């Protein structure tokens, strides 16, 4: 069953806008965990504009479910944090310093030497490593060659195209996912997945291990409340997998 990991960056962004501790990031993470989410995702950036490095340290101390930490391993501060905190999973993302949000995956062929070295470091500390990639067969094969345990499919293009044609939107993802499955590379997915497009995505790629969802889920929570929203996303995943069994 695909697991739901909730990205809580937006909660931290709201907290930081007033410079105090409201909303309380750690309390929200524990509540989300209690509502049934199987993981918490954070993406600390060098300017700490939302999740702070100390948030990551404190989350590791209190969470019972999986902690997934995203970031660019070309930042030495990020590498040091991962080696200190030892999260369950690290997701390597090729963000630049001033990037608003993730908008592309790794070139795992061009960056093979670097990725292979950093992946080996994290795996030596028993951390599962996922590499953020576009739905490109060569990039997935490259991730496998670099030693990654998983690849996270960057799903922004799927979400963008979905309203005008789900079949066309999902096609490159299914093709790439099938190759990854054949070569033994596990898959995660994330970016702009929401209550409208999530079920179809998992129906078509039922061996997805984890979806990481933040912006849409936190936005939905403004309308439905956090507990209801987490359970709504879990229901979409459940229904997608039940469809596959029929």
From first to last of the 246 residues of the chain, give the pLDDT tens digit.
Answer: 899 999 999 999 999 999 899 999 999 999 999 999 999 999 999 999 999 999 999 999 999 999 999 999 999 999 999 999 999 999 999 987 676 566 678 999 999 999 999 999 999 999 999 999 999 999 999 999 999 999 999 999 999 999 999 999 999 999 999 999 999 999 999 999 999 999 999 999 999 999 999 999 999 999 999 999 999 999 999 999 886 555
CA atoms 179, 148, 97, 58: torsion sign: positive
For residue 106, which phi and psi values (nearest 5 degrees)? Answer: -70, 150
- Report the residue count for the chain: 246
What residues form DSSP beta bridges with 212?
5, 190
Domains and CATH numbers, the chain: 3-245 (3.20.20.70)
**Of residues 70, 141, 152, 236, which has the active-site annotation?**
70
* 215 is known as an active-site residue: no
Distances (CA, A) of 42 to 137, 199, 244: 27, 23, 30
For residue 42, give the nearest of 18, 27, 25 by alpha carbon. 25
CA atoms within 13 A on the CB side of 198: 27
Give the three-class secondary structure for 169: helix
Q: Are 126 and 160 in contact (CB under 8 A)?
A: no
**Of residues 50, 141, 152, 191, which has the active-site annotation?**
191
* 186 is known as an active-site residue: no
* 70 is known as an active-site residue: yes
């Amino acid at each position: 069953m695909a697991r739901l990991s909730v990205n809580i960056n937006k909660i931290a962004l709201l907290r930081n806008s007033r410079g105090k501790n409201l909303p309380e990031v750690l309390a929200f993470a524990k509540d989300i965990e209690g509502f049934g989410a199987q993981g918490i995702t954070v993406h600390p950036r060098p300017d700490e504009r939302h999740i702070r490095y100390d948030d990551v340290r404190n989350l590791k101390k209190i969470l019972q479910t999986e902690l997934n930490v995203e970031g660019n391993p070309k930042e030495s501060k990020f590498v040091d944090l991962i080696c200190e905190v030892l999260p369950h999973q690290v997701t390597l993302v090729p963000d630049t310093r001033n990037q608003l949000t993730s908008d592309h995956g790794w070139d795992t062929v061009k960056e093979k030497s670097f990725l292979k070295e950093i992946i080996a470091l994290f795996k030596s500390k028993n951390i599962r490593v996922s590499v953020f990639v576009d739905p490109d067969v060569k990039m997935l094969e490259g991730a496998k060659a670099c030693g990654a345990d998983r690849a996270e499919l960057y799903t922004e293009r799927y979400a963008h195209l979905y309203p005008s044609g789900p079949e066309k939107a999902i096609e490159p993802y299914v093709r790439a996912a099938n190759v990854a499955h054949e070569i033994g590379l596990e898959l995660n997915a994330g970016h702009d997945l929401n209550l409208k497009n999530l079920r179809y995505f998992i129906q078509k790629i039922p061996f997805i291990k984890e979806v990481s969802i933040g912006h849409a889920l936190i936005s939905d929570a403004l309308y439905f409340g956090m507990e209801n929203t987490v359970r709504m996303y879990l229901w979409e995943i459940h229904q997608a997998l039940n469809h596959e069994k029929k």
